[in-house]
A and B are shown apart, each in its own frame.
Chain A
């Protein structure tokens, strides 16, 4: 019976797994000091932060513009720099220069703190994302659970933004958003549990390691159980809703609520909220890849003497694969956004409670039986 049993690291090392997560880079950084100042320890959280900034600039904003332009038969940014590559830099410069306006009637502490909490909620989850077998901020033994719960803090920030703005439309947006995030956490968590059950661990690295093997993609959790794909789809849909992405972007519905909870924000506060959205998009994409698509494992199989899997595994390759998988789902999210209209509030709740949650529960029950008696 493997259900919820922790895999002993030795057993994994002895199995066909070509690489073991040793967090070598993190350990190396931890011991790195300059004149007694622990620079390396500070660098560990700084790396994901810099990554978010670069990713949000280039995959997030620039990528979204180019993807939407492609879908909409346009060209997209092409004037600022080569292929418009400097456009987002120019936008950030503009946002930095903006006056930091707090509306006179706003609740100032809430208004100022709101975007920070939204961003921190999204960013804190990056601590447990396995960027490579050799790099994870904190390999908690409850990593997935931590990620799910810390993201919920965003709801508090959103409510603070909406209430603090002292704008009825913002309040509507915030209330919608909180209702939505809280509701969609249920199908999301249940489908996460399916993946956790299959790996037998809550630790991100262990979940990834449980999916490595010489046949590459065939070891991924999504191919290990007949219902894993369903859990994956349910998680993806719920992730869209949790990130407030279209077609579930009713909290910020442009044409209804103007911009929802961040109508009153400008300058860097706006940029924070924006960054948080892209950060949580990538975060959910990585969690999806970790749970069901092998995380940093290479999808290529070993074919006899052509040991593609061995060749394409390793700490650096791992970082490449996880980025590839993460960005793929980020791009799918953009694709969905620019294709579909928006749900209405009641339809959104209907989808969550009457479609996704029952299906997620069924998947969960079936996956449990499969894990116990078949696999």
Chain B
């Protein structure tokens, strides 16, 4: 072989038991290059991972991305500030509300405008609903990756309720364009709050059911426990965020650590695994973090429903600026998305109604970059399990 590949797994991987696949070194084996994707069901979209394998053991994994690159940042430079919002929807299409929220916060910071308190509550409710829906997809497709088909459909059945609620709210099921600069597009319809409360009541036992069906399954635990252990220091060095970072035991949640909107007023926890069921940092930990975050989101929604100020003649467009022409300056706003920190760095030259530069920081992209580190020394089946636990949305990775 022309290229010498580092074969022995790192010590920390061995500690997690990842070296149990290493075959006898005396036997002369040939490496095989295996192309995983871009048309592969486990890559959750158009990601290509080039695997160098020794039998079924992965020696090297290199992700290639960019198949879904749509020039978001260049597009943003040609559009008015409001018109960028639908484009942010299409970045992480599974958590469009959360991305919109981060972008809108950046513009509001740039304009230095105050948002009505009721609007903040409305935003947090939809964002948390979206977070649940997004984690549902992540958990469901993770089950699919491991080979459990049934939990997927059970979870999709419950996700349907959230999508119906959001459709009722703004007419769209996936890409909402709901959160506007200074407001939201529609006021809550009458009885919307009651319906959301009903959903929370309905859904909490269903999460328990989901945990019993998938997470507590012996086979599922066997497949994910100790697979792809990401130590906290590596996670921080790579800049991981979201469940990926919390799965490694780092209690870092932007809603807590860099509070925005009305999150400081609400009671919830940043979920980290306790290491009882999982080894901290492994695929199962990341999965567990998502599962328990659903409970936290449900808690947040309940509190928001209670605390939300009532106003029968409320106009959600009251604080929406007619023309957005911010003064020259630059701003960075970030939000805790289901898949990690999403940030928007916006520069205004003060001359026009279009951003001079709009840089999006994607959580998935950074989380995905740690894949080569995790995949090394594992089996191909484990690469699927690891990739699923990273939970990428290629729309956001490639932007």
Contacts and interface: CB of A to CB of B under 8 A. Distances in A.
Partners in one complex: yes
B150 A246 contact: no
A169 B219 CA distance: 24
A346 B149 CA distance: 21
B395 interface: no
B104 interface: no
Most chain A beta-carbon contacts within 10 A, residue among B34, B147, B223: B147
Given A74-B153, A249-B147, A339-B150, A344 B42 contact: no
Contacts of B233: none
A11 to B, nearest CB: 48
B41 A258 contact: yes
Nearest to A171: B32
A254 B148 CA distance: 11
A73 B153 contact: yes
A341 B34 contact: no
Nearest to B384: A256
A168 B223 CA distance: 23
A341 B41 contact: no
Nearest to A74: B153
B220 interface: yes
A198 B180 CA distance: 77
Contact of B219 (A168, A256, A338, A343): A343
A359 to B, nearest CB: 18
Contact of A255 (B35, B41, B157, B217): B41
Nearest to A176: B56
Given A246-B147, A342-B219, A73 B42 contact: no
B147 A253 contact: yes
B150 A338 contact: yes
A347 interface: yes
A341 B42 contact: no
Interface string A249-270: 1100111101000000000000
Given A254-B41, A255-B41, A72 B153 contact: yes
A245 to B, nearest CB: 12
A146 interface: no
Interface string A306-350: 000000000000000000000000000000001111111111000
A74 B219 CA distance: 24
A268 B217 CA distance: 37
Contact of B149 (A72, A258, A343): A72
Nearest to B56: A345
B143 interface: yes
Tier of interface size on chain B: 20 to 34
Nearest to B43: A255
Contact of B381 (A74, A247, A250, A258): A250
Contact of B223 (A71, A339, A341): A341
Contacts of B382: 344
A172 interface: yes
Interface string B44-64: 000000000000100000000
Interface string A213-236: 000000000000000000000000
Interface residues of A, number: 27
B380 interface: yes
Contacts of B21: 346
Given A247-B147, A346-B21, A341 B380 contact: no
Contact of A172 (B40, B56, B145): B56
B379 A168 contact: no
A255 B379 contact: no
Interface string B144-161: 111111100110010000
A247 B144 contact: no
Interface in B1-27: 20-21
A342 B147 contact: yes
A256 B150 contact: no
Contacts of A172: 56, 380
Nearest to B383: A256
A175 to B, nearest CB: 9
B153 A256 contact: no
Interface in A144-183: 168-169, 172
Nearest to B227: A344
B6 to A, nearest CB: 22
Nearest to A344: B381
Contacts of B41: 254-255, 258
B222 interface: yes
B154 A168 contact: no
A68 B154 CA distance: 12
Interface string B282-308: 000000000000000000000000000
Contact of B146 (A68, A71, A249, A341): A341
Nearest to A257: B380
Contacts of B148: 340-342
Interface in A40-85: 68, 71-74
A71 B56 contact: no
B220 A256 contact: no
A85 B385 CA distance: 37
Contact of A346 (B144, B157, B379): B379
| 9 closest cross-chain pairs (CB), A and B | A342-B147, A341-B148, A72-B153, A341-B146, A341-B147, A341-B219, A344-B381, A255-B145, A255-B42
Given A168-B32, A346-B379, 8 more contacts: A68-B149, A72-B149, A255-B146, A258-B41, A339-B150, A340-B147, A342-B381, A344-B382
14 contacts: A172-B380, A247-B219, A249-B147, A254-B41, A255-B42, A255-B144, A255-B146, A339-B150, A340-B147, A341-B217, A342-B147, A342-B148, A343-B223, A345-B379
